[in-house]
Amino acid sequence: MKIKKMFMYLMLSSLILIGCSDDDGNTSGPAEPTYTTGTAVFGDSTGEDVIYGIEKIAGGFLLTGNTASLNNGSSSDGLVMQVDAAGTTIWESTIDSGENGYDRLYDLEVDSNGNIATAGFATRSVGGTDMWIAVLSSAGTLSNMAFFGADGINERAYTVGDWNEVDVYTVGGYNSDTDATIQYSDRNDLSSRGVDSLTGTSSWYRGVKTTDNLVIHVGDILVDGQYDGLFTAFNSVDGVYIQTPGTVISTLASRLYGANNSPTIRSALLICGLADNGSGYIAKMNTSGSLVWETTTTQAATLYDIVEDSMGNIVAVGYSGADAFMVKLDQSGNILASKTFDGGAGANDRFYGIAVSDNSELVMVGYTEDANGDKNGWMVTTDPDGNLN
């Protein structure tokens, strides 16, 4: 945000490999990669400014979340912004649902027409919250928004996707019966094109369109008094589910918050969340819904987002204790490194999203909390191993 912007710019030193020669002693060999690392803070420490979602675009990133600093008279507005690789704001757009309540956006995606779709929840004057979708131009101009829900009941959307084959957006979350719900919204006017809901206390938290023409969602469902990891997938060409909608894929996972493609393995998915024992949960699965492997962190943690880096390693982010947290694994599920990040105030810090830059840096977003309990949006850029310097 333009109200307050701080960036720490660090360059990792380049080391030159020295080659041996019998005649002239000339140096040879490639230079080690050089990475730009640092942190950016968005907000004015007067309330709640949080970044929940990130998407890589040409020249930088799109971010989404909520803001109290730049609200339009409400307690919190939805926020979408574009930043460059250093975290400098290019544009920012606050979105008010129109009723001066508490609004929040969790996820965003650039659709096949270049428009930005974002989703979350809006507080309504009749009581409760509704699933909320908004569409903006590539320059951040709001073009339309819509609400889905019953009056006086809490409903939320956590994820949005572009099902361009049938010209709809998929909006995933839970409905008025606290059932996992995928709402289908027409891309032209955002009207309802139908809905798929499960039966039972459950929710979808992340949706992904895969490289083998599937739309998948992960979440959780309450089974015999305990939450288990939930999965569903349908074919993006014909809309047919590949198995019974809403399948428990792990009883080790209590909740599945993050999912992403594995670019190096066409039919693989990476998922993350919270394990039953309170540790972070990470797994690889195939798109048919079968686990390849699953593992947990050695420390208590909750993981919200996951990505495969430029070297084929897996990185998941969230929090552990009061600190933001990242864990790095190889493709077999072996943990290579884990790191915590403290914003400096000794308060709560969180990561909710991660992307990989054009230069292979890890870009993690969330919030950092000050000593007064106010939250500022936070973007942390590290080298591929999670180092800031």
Residues 36, 351, 311, 204, Cα dihedral to 10°: -150
Rounded CA-CA distance 328/338 in Å is 6
- Model confidence at 188: pLDDT above 50: yes
Structural domain contains residue 388: no
Q: Exposed, middle or buried: residue 24 (CB in 10 Å: 0-12, 13-18, 19+)?
A: exposed
Which band of pLDDT confidence, cut at 50, 70 and 90, is reported for residue 16?
very low
Structural domain contains residue 199: yes
Rounded CA-CA distance 232/244 in Å is 8
pLDDT of residue 27: 54
Structural domain contains residue 197: yes
Rounded CA-CA distance 337/38 in Å is 19
Average confidence (pLDDT) over 82-111 = 94
Instruction: Tell me which residue of 269, 358, 252 sits closest to 306, measured CA to CA.
Output: 269
Is 92:81 a contact under the CB 8 Å cutoff? yes
Average confidence (pLDDT) over 107-121 = 98
Edge-first strand listing for the sheet containing 77-84: 49-57, 60-67, 77-84, 89-95
Average confidence (pLDDT) over 75-86 = 94
Which band of pLDDT confidence, cut at 50, 70 and 90, is reported for residue 75?
confident
Average confidence (pLDDT) over 363-385 = 95
Q: How many domains does the chain have?
A: 1
Structural domain contains residue 174: yes
Quick: pLDDT tens for 240-269: 999 889 999 999 999 999 999 987 776 789
Average confidence (pLDDT) over 58-76 = 86
Structural domain contains residue 122: yes
Q: List the domain range (segments joined by +) for residue 79.
A: 5-382
pLDDT of residue 13: 35
- Model confidence at 296: pLDDT above 80: yes
Which band of pLDDT confidence, cut at 50, 70 and 90, is reported for residue 44?
confident
pLDDT of residue 74: 65
pLDDT of residue 121: 97
Is 103:78 a contact under the CB 8 Å cutoff? yes
Buried b (16+ CB within 10 A) or exposed e, 230-247: bbbbbebeeeeeeeebbe
- Model confidence at 17: pLDDT above 80: no
Any idea which of 173-177, 264-268, 342-346 has the lowest mean pLDDT?
Answer: 264-268
- Model confidence at 129: pLDDT above 70: yes
- Model confidence at 380: pLDDT above 80: yes
CATH code for position 35: 2.130.10.10
Any idea which of 10-19, 301-310, 371-380 has the lowest mean pLDDT?
Answer: 10-19
Structural domain contains residue 308: yes
Average confidence (pLDDT) over 345-366 = 96
Structural domain contains residue 221: yes
- Model confidence at 11: pLDDT above 60: no
Instruction: Tell me which residue of 169, 176, 49 sits closest to 118, measured CA to CA.
Output: 169
CA distances (Å), origin 300, targets 280, 282, 321, 348: 6, 13, 7, 15
- Model confidence at 7: pLDDT above 70: no
Please give the mean pLDDT across all residues of the chain. 90
Which band of pLDDT confidence, cut at 50, 70 and 90, is reported for residue 272?
very high
Structural domain contains residue 36: yes
